[in-house]
Amino acid sequence: MAQHEPRKDEIDEKAIDDWLPITSSRKAKWWYSTFHNVTAMVGAGVLSLPYSLAALGWGPGVTVLIISWVVTLYTLWQMVEMHEMVPGKRFDRYHELGQHAFGEKLGLWIVVPQQLIVEVGVCIVYMITGGKSMKKIHDSLCTGCKPIKTSYFIIIFASIHFVLSHLPNFNSISVVSLAAAVMSLSYSTIAWTASLHRGVQPDVDYSYKGKDQQTVMFNFFSALGDVAFAYAGHNVVLEIQATIPSTPEKPSKKPMWLGVVFAYIVVAICYFPVALVGYYVFGNSVDDNILITLEKPKWLIAAANLFVVIHVIGSYQIYAMPVFDMMETFLVRKLRFKPRFTLRFITRTLYVAFTMIVGICIPFFGSLLGFFGGLALAPTTYFLPCIMWLCVYKPRTFSLSWFANWICIILGVMLVILGPIGGLRNIIISSKDYKFFS
């Protein structure tokens, strides 16, 4: 009799796995990984890259952009490789990999808080971005209309997610994600082609903007954090890979890596032209969102903002899915709730409501994210994968792999220290202008 009990547990486990959003569907193709990664990576942050470049200057700016691209591609490759490093087991979630590298308890404590800060933070920022972009569309197309508060647009944006959040898993949001990836390419292209069309401004100035050396230095630190923030896809990469089928003959890492390489090519096509052309044309007078600097032609800017809205809808879903998975896993595995639609409906609706309310109350959350993002995002993207790699594979001291990982770790730790310093100073300086519920 006792022999049959584990079978029931196994059946229960399988039933739970088949229900949870990350592990329920493993039918993804390699190109799913491309557009999921593009959607996760190319945020509306791409539009602030010319502004970051203005704070960094030509030499350091281009260097930081290229180094970030190379380092994050390398750490992403490590995560794709580590997904199935134990034969017959898949690390479907970032924290499962953390537990394998650092131990059951410590792994959770290291990974989960950082991953949650990034994912929940990004969802809140996307709520605000979506609302603000909708407001820009309204304001640019309807010039004589009565102004509507951003809060109302955030509520309209949230109402879309009250519907979309009930799509069960990653594969079910693939159409939304594909649309989002196409849109990110579209508005990036609009941003740099419209800038080129405008031509280099007669009074263009490439010197550092700031009253004194101190301001210039802090702006430099803050811009480092912003560039780091542009590469945030690692927090969802294992979860995306979990949706790809895998057999010993055809491991999931091959299609996943193919998808990642294509995604990174798209990322380069989006990031580099926007950053370089935007700064080249406008110099240090560029706004923190290049679409604001480009006020004309009206219809084009409205179209670009519409693309931002569609993209942010997809991005929100990509970042919310692992959070849904964590909440549902906790409720079903730890608190023994039955895996059913009602449970999912209530938890996801509450989550969307939470991100919406925080977005409405704290519309300046974006500047806070520069601070938190630096603290949580740089580790999960730049050096946590390297530390795991060193813990698990133990490469020979002074070998190429050992050097590569330590260089990434040192650069990442510098980012974690310097990025938040600039962000914190910006928060303190602009806090006198902050208005809750504005």
Q: For 250-306, what is each residue's pLDDT tens digit?
A: 889 899 999 999 999 999 998 999 999 999 988 888 877 787 777 777 788 888 889
Confidence (pLDDT) at 27? 82
Can you tell me the distance from the alpha carbon of 375 to that of 225, in angstroms, rounded to the nearest whole number?
9
Confidence (pLDDT) at 156? 94
Alpha-helical segments (H) within 103-173: 104-141, 150-164
Which pTM was predicted? 0.88
Confidence (pLDDT) at 89? 87
Among candidate residues 263, 214, 210, the one with its CA nearest the CA of residue 237: 263
Can you tell me the distance from the alpha carbon of 72 to that of 81, in angstroms, rounded to the nearest whole number?
14
Long-range Cβ pairs for the range 364-367 (8 Å, 24+): 364/430, 364/434, 365/121, 365/124, 365/125, 365/128, 366/125, 366/128, 366/129, 367/423, 367/426, 367/427, 367/430
Confidence (pLDDT) at 2? 46
Q: For 343-356, what is each residue's pLDDT tens digit?
A: 999 999 999 999 99
Can you tell me the distance from the alpha carbon of 134 to that of 158, in angstroms, rounded to the nearest whole number?
12
Dihedrals phi, psi of 231, to nearest 5 degrees:
-115, 75
| Cβ-Cβ contacts under 8 Å for 263 (sequence gap 6 or more) | 33, 34, 35, 37, 38, 41, 233
Q: Which two tokens stand for residue 371?
A: 């601070």
| pLDDT less than 70: residues of the chain | 1-11, 44, 365-370, 372-373, 434-438
* Torsion angle (degrees, nearest 10) of CA 425, 428, 432, 433: 50
Confidence (pLDDT) at 302? 86
Confidence (pLDDT) at 207? 83
Domains in the chain, start-ordered, CATH in brackets? 2-431 (1.20.1740.10)
Confidence (pLDDT) at 145? 83
Confidence (pLDDT) at 1? 45
Q: For 100-128, what is each residue's pLDDT tens digit?
A: 999 999 999 989 988 888 889 889 888 98
Can you tell me the distance from the alpha carbon of 16 to that of 24, in angstroms, rounded to the nearest whole number?
9
39 and 265 Cβ atoms separated by less than 8 Å: no
Three-state SS annotation for 169-209: CCHHHHHHHHHHHHHHHHHHHHHHHHHHHHCCCCCCCCCCC
Half-sphere exposure of 250 (CA within 13 A, CB side): 7
